[in-house]
Amino acid sequence: MILYLTQSYITGRMIDMTPTPHIGATAGQIADTVLMPGDPLRARFIAENYLDKPELYNEVRGMLGYTGSYKGKRVSVQGSGMGIPSFGIYSYELFSFYDVKRIIRVGTAGALHPDLRIGDVVLAMGACTNSAFADQYKLPGTFVPLASFSLLQRAVREVEKNGGRYMVGSVLSSDTFYSADNEASAKWRDMGVLAAEMETAALYMTAAYLKKEALTILTVSDHIFTGEATDAATRQTAFTRMMEIALECAVNS
């Protein structure tokens, strides 16, 4: 097994083993707080439109990563790709090998709750999942992946200060985008789950395991039961409200 940040048994000092297999940055290039959209083009959009003097630190596998400043504070933004395995890799490497303190996911979701509309913001307090990601921890029961309460508080303050529709609650992090179970979405909805996406459970579990902070801020891009939807270009660039909420959380952390 390869360790990318390890301790010398001779000196006791930590040895810098960055870059990692998936992130081409060297130590010090990534800020304490990282915004993580799934889409690398959304990462580029955030960097180019919100960060001062953004510098590209990663383009391995096309997963663009940038560091710049927002309101005078260093902030990074890093694409994660889709799904729990991909997000698990990037969040683990950022937390473990680059000493990132907090990750704020900014992504899109399919609404389950009947009162959610396209463009509404969902703050994920917790994440249900059909994934076996937690099996690696060999826990004697079922783990509940939760957001950092301090980050969630900040996000609620920001969204209420700026107005607009939002909900706080649980989301579903699903391993399946095209499910063979046609009744699954209705069952999650009936348990009060607000929306479905594919990454948050991995983020919250990884943060808990490594004693870090994490929060997911989502924008509703489609509604699973009504069929309303947005196109790919809109998902990349139009959902700026969640980006601004995340950036304010970053600079006030």
Burial profile 14-25: b = 16 or more Cβ within 10 angstroms, e = fewer: eeeebbbebbbb
- Strand ranges inside 3-156, DSSP E: 5-7, 14-16, 33-36, 52-58, 65-70, 73-78, 102-111, 121-129
Nearest Cα residue to 121 out of 76, 85, 168: 168
Strands 33-36 and 102-111: parallel
Residues in CB range of 141: below 8 A, 6 or more apart = none
pTM score, whole prediction: 0.92
Contact 195, 112 (CB under 8 A): yes
Could you identify the residue written with the tokens 């997000």?
87
Judged by DSSP in three states, 196 sits in strand
Please, what are the averages of pLDDT over each run of 10 residues along the chain (253 residues)? 41 66 96 97 97 97 97 98 97 97 97 96 98 98 98 97 94 96 96 98 98 98 90 76 97 89
Q: What integer pLDDT is reported at residue 9 of this predicted model?
A: 37
Q: What integer pLDDT is reported at residue 10 of this predicted model?
A: 39
Indicate if 52 belongs to the active site: no
- CA-CA distance, 110 to 71, in Å (whole number)? 32
Nearest Cα residue to 197 out of 127, 248, 101, 104: 127
**Structurally, what CATH architecture does the domain formed by 5-251 represent?**
3-Layer(aba) Sandwich (3.40)
Contact 107, 43 (CB under 8 A): no
Q: What integer pLDDT is reported at residue 13 of this predicted model?
A: 46
Catalytic pick among 115, 190, 222, 231: 222
